[in-house]
């Protein structure tokens, strides 16, 4: 903790907690702090972070505020969606996938500014510390990482606020009390956990949701949309071409309106405990279903089943923070190889929490009405072949049964 630090790049939101961290770094290490504030589509004004940083003495050229929305969706969310990744069957990894990008920029800015350390505001109980740090070390093995929440002794809210006041950090009135839960947000999702959510038997209170209307309050009429895919990635909504981040944002609006993408989950953290979280992934849920829809007619069975078998491990790697690990990259190479012909259009029905694929078409469709038809198939398929197919698939089972008699 008391390593000598020259200059540190801090992932800085402009909020109270990271402001306290900023000051704490200055006080504890006597070092220069570079602030990095990322726009990942969390829906907050970021410019106020500049003023606050300046107020705490950060040099203007050491204040970084970057719009990373397109990079986030194009290089992180979409590749992950190609894999149909869901952690523990359900979670679309909205927080997990953002951390490596933040670390990547932290390490880049450290290089640009000659900093020898990076710092983040994640606690010592969660997954995010692991994700930040594994990514940072994988990108720069010599970087130092400071995680104040693991190091300082501000273990209660009261202590934190007292420390803030002692160090002249403005404490907004609404931050004085305890927040009833903790959140993380970006273009893909908002997560909430802690406090009122800590009893997994208690239903999530309505006021926790911020990104979606309650399905009960969603429109009474369904809405139909189409999403176009090229090589496994979404490129258009209702026929209108859109950039990755624009498409996801538009799907978020649709998902919010129709109450889509709420998930109440007890999950297993990498650090070994279970936690209960509430996720809202409105556009991501629609997108994920659409992607499976287009794959259903364009992916060969062998490719599709291999993807399904690899997915749990791939999702676990992202959840655990191993985005920049060789095995994640190997799996990505396999997955990306499968997406060359995943091109076409999916039609979905959105209605009160449901996002259902109702149609799919593609110039590369592998679906053959000629083969599957109950009608005369003009010789496309010889039903007698099935007899031999079954006989040879059964052979080992027969030999086994004979031996077991």
* Contacts of a copy of itself in 193-222 (CB under 8 A): 194-195, 198-204, 215-216, 220, 222
- Which residue number, 33 or 147, has a Cβ lying nearer to a copy of itself? 147
Selected from 190, 341, 342, 343, the binder of a copy of itself by CB under 8 A is 341
The position carrying tokens 């996938």 is 97
126 assigned ligand-binding residue: no
- Out of 32, 184, 267, 280, the residue judged to bind a copy of itself by CB under 8 A: 267
**Pair type for strands 7-11 and 117-119:** parallel
DSSP 179: -
Q: HSE (CB half, 13 Å, CA atoms) of 292?
A: 17
Subset of 72-111 contacting a copy of itself (CB under 8 A): 84, 88-90
> Known binder of ligand: residue 74?
no
User: Tell me, what DSSP letter sits at residue 11?
Assistant: E
Q: Which is nearer to a copy of itself, 61 or 273 (CB)?
A: 273
Binding part of the chain for a copy of itself, among 13-21, 31-39, 238-246, 372-380 by CB under 8 A, reads 372-380
Mapping DSSP to helix (H, G, I), strand (E, B) and coil, where does residue 198 land?
A: coil
Shortest Cβ distance from residue 245 to a copy of itself (Å)?
A: 26
Sort 279 into a burial class: Cβ within 10 Å, 0-12 / 13-18 / 19+: buried
Q: Could you tell me which stretch among 35-43, 69-77, 235-243, 296-304 binds a copy of itself (CB under 8 A)?
A: 296-304
Query: Among residue numbers 116 through 145, which ones bind a copy of itself (CB under 8 A)?
Result: 123-125, 129-130, 133-134, 137-142
| Closest distance to a copy of itself from the beta carbon of 63 (Å) | 28
Question: Does the footprint of a copy of itself cover residue 304 (CB under 8 A)?
Answer: yes
The 10 Å Cβ neighbour count of residue 233 is 21
Residue list 16-45, contact with a copy of itself (CB under 8 A): none
Q: Does residue 275 bind a copy of itself (CB under 8 A)? A: yes
364 binding a copy of itself? (CB under 8 A): yes
Active site residues: 17, 99, 128, 182
Lookup: tokens for 47 = 């410019």
Q: Does 236 bind a copy of itself (CB under 8 A)?
A: no
Q: How far is the CB of 338 from a copy of itself (least distance, A)?
A: 5
Beta bridge partners of 339: none
Report whether 156 belongs to an annotated binding site.
no
The single residue among 45, 302, 378, 379 that binds a copy of itself, judged by CB under 8 A, is 302
13 known ligand binder: yes
User: Which contiguous run of DSSP H or E holds residue 346?
Assistant: strand 344-351
Query: Which spans in 215-281 are helix H?
Result: 244-258
How many amino acids of this chain bind a copy of itself (CB under 8 A)?
A: 128
Q: Does 175 bind a copy of itself (CB under 8 A)?
A: no
Q: Is 11 flagged in the annotation as binding?
A: yes
Q: Can you tell me the distance from the alpha carbon of 70 to that of 57, in angstroms, rounded to the nearest whole number?
A: 31
Quick one: which segment of 26-34, 45-53, 95-103, 266-274 binds a copy of itself (CB under 8 A)? 266-274
113 sits near a copy of itself (criterion: CB under 8 A): no
Q: Coil, strand or helix: which one is 34? A: strand
First-to-final CA distance of the chain: 69
Binding mask 149-168 for a copy of itself (x = CB under 8 A): xx----xx------------
Cβ contact 285:291 at 8 Å: no
Structural Rg of the chain based on CA atoms: 25
User: Is 96 annotated as ligand-binding?
Assistant: yes
- Does 252 appear as a known binding residue? no
CB 164 within 8 A of CB 307: no
Least distance (Å) from a copy of itself to the CB of residue 165? Answer: 21
Give me 380's structure tokens.
């496309």
- On whether 182 is known to bind a ligand per the annotation, the reply is yes
Q: State the Cα–Cα distance between residues 218 and 206, nearest whole angstrom.
A: 14
Minimum distance of a copy of itself from residue 4's CB (angstroms): 14
The residues facing 274 across adjacent strands are 268
Instruction: Name which of 62 and 258 has its Cβ closer to a copy of itself.
Output: 258
Both structure tokens of 400: 């086994």
- Residue 16 annotated as binding site: yes
Token pair listed for 39: 């726009």
Return the number of the residue (6 or 398) whose C-beta is nearest a copy of itself: 398
For residue 97, CA distances in Å to 74, 146, 281 come to 12, 21, 13
- Rounded CA separation 63/58 (Å): 7
Nearest CA-CA partner of 38 in 240, 261, 187: 187
The binding site for ATP consists of 11-19, 38, 121
The binding site for L-aspartate consists of 123, 127-128
């Amino acid at each position: 903790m008391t390593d000598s630090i020259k200059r540190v790049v801090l992932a800085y939101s402009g909020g109270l907690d990271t402001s306290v961290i900023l000051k704490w770094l200055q006080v504890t290490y006597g070092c220069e702090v570079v602030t990095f504030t990322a726009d990942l589509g969390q829906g907050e004004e970021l410019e106020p972070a500049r003023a606050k940083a300046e107020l705490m003495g950060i040099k203007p050229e050491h204040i970084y505020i970057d719009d990373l929305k397109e990079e986030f969706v194009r290089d992180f969310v979409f590749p992950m969606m190609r894999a149909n990744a869901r952690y523990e069957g359900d979670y679309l990894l909205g927080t997990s996938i953002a951390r490596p990008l933040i670390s990547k920029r932290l390490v880049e800015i450290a290089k640009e500014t000659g900093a020898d350390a990076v710092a983040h505001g994640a606690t010592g109980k969660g997954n995010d510390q692991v994700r930040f740090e594994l990514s940072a070390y994988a990108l720069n093995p010599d970087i130092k990482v400071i995680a104040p929440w693991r190091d300082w002794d501000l273990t209660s809210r009261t202590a934190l606020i007292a420390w803030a006041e002692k160090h002249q950090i403005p404490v907004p009135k609404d931050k004085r009390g305890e927040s009833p839960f903790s959140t993380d947000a970006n273009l893909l999702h908002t997560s909430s956990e802690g406090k009122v959510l800590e009893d997994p038997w208690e239903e999530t209170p309505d006021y926790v949701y911020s990104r979606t209307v309650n399905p009960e309050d969603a429109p009474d009429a369904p809405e139909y949309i189409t999403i176009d895919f090229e090589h496994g990635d979404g490129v258009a909504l209702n026929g209108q071409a859109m950039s990755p981040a624009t498409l996801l944002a538009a799907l978020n609006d649709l998902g919010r309106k129709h109450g889509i993408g709420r998930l109440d989950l007890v999950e297993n953290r990498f650090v070994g405990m279970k936690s209960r979280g509430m996720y809202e992934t409105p556009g991501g849920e629609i997108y994920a279903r659409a992607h499976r829809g287009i794959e259903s007619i364009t992916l060969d069975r062998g490719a599709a089943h291999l993807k399904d078998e690899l997915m749990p491990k791939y999702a676990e790697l992202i959840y655990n923070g191993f985005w920049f690990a060789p095995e994640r990259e190997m799996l990505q190479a396999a997955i990306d190889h499968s997406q060359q012909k995943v091109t076409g259009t999916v039609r979905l029905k959105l209605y009160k929490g449901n996002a259902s694929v109702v149609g799919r078409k593609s110039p590369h469709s592998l679906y053959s009405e000629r083969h599957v038809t109950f009608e005369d198939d003009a010789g496309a398929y010889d039903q007698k072949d099935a007899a031999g197919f079954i006989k040879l698939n059964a052979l080992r089972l027969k030999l086994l049964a004979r031996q077991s008699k």
